[in-house]
Structure 1
Amino acid sequence: MQLLQAFKDFVDKEALFSSNETLLVAVSGGMDSVVLCELCCRAGFDLIIAHVNFQLRGEESVRDEAFVREMGRRLGKQVMVERFDTTRYASEKKCSIQVAARELRYQWFEQVHAGPILTAHHQDDNIETLLMNFFKGTGIAGLRGIQPRQGRIVRPLLFATKEMLRQFAGEQGLSWVEDSSNASDKYTRNYFRHQLIPLLQSVYPGVTAHLADNIQRFREIEVLYRQGVEQYKKKLLEKKGEEVHIPVEKLRRSQPLHTLIYEIIHPLGFSPQQVSSVVALLDAGSGKYVLSASHRILKDRNWLIISPLAEAPADHVLIESPAGKVLYEGGTLDLQLLTVQAPTADASIAWLDTTAMQFPLLLRKWRPGDYFYPLGMRKKKKLARFFIDNKLSLAQKEKVWVLEMDKKIIWVVGMRIDDRFRITERTKQVLRIAFLPR
């Protein structure tokens, strides 16, 4: 019964759950999960058994479900069972069967139980995960392997080897079912389990024990590592709305540069291989950028600007009425027809003479080659030059919209109206447009 005491000690040391909580124990019917369930029962914890039938192995899947139901009856515990068409889900989501099964399993667990959810991952699983992460290149976070607790998912067997579980099951006369797919090396984890790790053990007989010790050290190292990374981030990152601005020279002087950049960009969907591309941006000209599926890193003079990629909304809006609100990507325009009154100097409000105006108006993003006659000027000016004079960054330029009538720009929204549509002493009716940014 040494395993039972070690189990209790691990739960207490890691503060995995309290004795008054109801546990949801994931039981496949295999040896690992059967031992986990037995230990929870003998430790006196209140539990519910959860079994997922992925319907992937024909009669074996039926057998496993029946076994778990009978096990619950014998232990006097409630058994919850869910069946999934895993193959169809994988096809719809365009993912592997393994990913589909994992997503389905954990989604269901989270839906049916609000307390701790226990899985039977053990030390051997953790070593396999460590090696798989190492070869994939996941950074230091991957080297700590599986965590004893992540959110409500709890792994209270990480202290135990597979052999320890097998010995306990034999001593206690426990029965279980075997999953035939565990014998196949077509799955990456099985290849590591059956081929790579035994090969390593033939060269270094104590390799699994050493790797298990390393996992604990890596967990502690990561705590120190995270503290250092967060200190650097506080010094480097300037939050501006949805954007993050990083001063180029300050970043360039930071060391270790590649590691810091990885930690900044990896949570935003950038791959480890893109770190060198971001480093290259430091010496690139303005306008160069690197993309992930969700974000862009733009070089803008002395800054790197990280911003989420906008969805693809309409790039133009037709305004057919001189009154009402118009919602668009950049914000809201509030249009009102008024009798003549003194305009304010607020750039977010356009005061336009309606004499030469006709609807509809076109609200659109500015384009290279656009020009207008800025208020107070008799000569036209290209918008690109206007933006330079007003010191707009590349990111700010991308957000500029214009209001156009009959191919004439009447307002650079939120900035300047066209002089040809200004209010004069002859103006009889005014179109007031207020811009409310998002």
Structure 2
Amino acid sequence: MRLLYSLLWWLALPLVLGRLWWRGRREPGYRQHLGERLGFYGPKPGPDRQLKRTIMVHAVSVGETRAAEPLVEALLREWPACRILLTHMTPTGRATGKALFGKHGDRVVQSFLPYDTGFMVGRFLRHFEPSICILMETEVWPNLVAVCDRYEVPVALVNARLSERSLRRGKQFGGLMMEAARGITLAAAQTEADAARIASLGAPEVAVTGSIKFDVVPPESALQAGAMLRSRFVERPVLLCASTREGEEALILDAWRALAADLANKPPGMLLLLVPRHPQRFDEVARMVEERGLSLARRSALPERVDADVLLGDSMGEMFAYYAACDCAFIGGSLMPLGGQNLIEACAVGKPVLVGEHTFNFLQATDEAVGAGAALRVPDAGALMSEAARLLGDGAARARMGEQALAFAGRHRGATARTVELLRQLIA
């Protein structure tokens, strides 16, 4: 199965590179560092007497990179003679890593992970010589795991999650994914359900550590940036729709227009702060706003006073600032069957949270937040706007949900420390 998988990778490579080049039209980062994606690098780094080992952490994109922040910081503290090799698959993930960890200088090195062929992965491992390969959340690549085993590099899957849908998909590939699961030395799962599903694929050692995302602390600089944004809104009540995905913005904007016509229920001056998950869609979403006759302002050209109907959050790395600037937050990816996004950051800033019905990628955290009174589920965009209008018009209800959100986030901290303790057996 793995030979067939590798052959398919080689056959698909021209299409993969073509798609990469095509995406680079709107996001130039996809056309940079192409050699790294194929396993080709510059001169091999010379030995450093102070940095005696390299710990690889693979965080595929923005969400995983931000989630990895507490773990990377803990690894740097616990092993002061280590270098972190932080790998990604998207340029936005790489940019986020640079923003978060650039302060550490040569102790954090970044690279794209090569495509999953034995040849490319082998070149990658020989070049960087990591002493351990740490994969974040769901990023299990069969050839990467197999080649790590060949080079005696232990593989740890941390902050691991596996939905029922992903488990069914994995079992469709039978031996391929089960071989990869058996090659994982250690899996640190977010929940008992995740652990059971990962173990059912054949992973030999699975523990439950909780979600590292609860250990992400809002930076003071982000809270200050949020306060600056808030000052531009004057006294307007603000609904943030965060990390929205394709198809959701149209639903949200149509519901927003319907609410605007309902003067009896719309809070005066209500502002919609809309932040698409993928930066290549910023201009597309801006056109959608204008096509509906709504006035638009953009974060990248922020006026002194935001009087527009919609403020487009067309910036990277400011999600904590957006949460700090809003009165309540809807978490995207959940109005449509896309699995939802992480609501923990909004809770950590103490904001009431709204989510749709489709949260299977973060099911337990979302269900627990709803049960704790920190979040509310809504069936559709119309209900989203109705609940948002209700909350924005009821300061006591908002304050109560915000307090429950902070308490919910605080109760679940500690996963980073538990994960580091598990990793000690693999980091000599």
TM (norm. structure 1) is: 0.25
Q: Which has the higher strand share?
A: 1
Considering fraction of residues, name the structure with more helix.
2
Q: Which has the higher contact order (CA 8 A, sep 6+)?
A: 2
Q: Which has the larger radius of gyration?
A: 1
